[in-house]
Amino acid sequence: MSEYMTWSELVISLLLLIGFGILMKRMGQANPEGTGKLGRKIGEVEREVASMDGRIRQIERVVSELPAIQHKQNDMATQLSATASDVKLIARQVDRLYDVIVPKGMGG
């Protein structure tokens, strides 16, 4: 034994190895993944991200429809303007007819 290690060196080496073993075991227990806490937290985050992804897709779909809605609104405004103009013309014509027909119907 004297050629390689003395008994005291061997004991010290064994104590060091045992100490490292105990330390590694404790570090493994302190690892949140080993206890599942980290896994649960990651699962919660993944669910939240999936939920947000669905909402983002809905928002993107609505935003992509906005130009078509704007175009329809412009078309409706044009039609409304034309209809308002037609209604004014018809109202004037009805007033003229009323001015002619009513006096003749009253005996005049």
Q: What is the DSSP string of the chain?
A: -TTT--HHHHHHHHHHHHHHHHHHHHHHHH-HHHHTHHHHHHHHHHHHHHHHHHHHHHHHHHHHHHHHHHHHHHHHHHHHHHHHHHHHHHHHHHHHHHHHHHHHHTT-
Decide: pTM greater than 0.75.
Answer: no
What is the tens place of the pLDDT at every residue in 75-102?
A: 999 999 999 999 999 999 999 888 888 8
What is the tens place of the pLDDT at every residue in 24-78?
A: 777 666 655 656 777 788 889 999 998 898 889 999 999 999 999 999 999 999 9
pLDDT at 87: 92
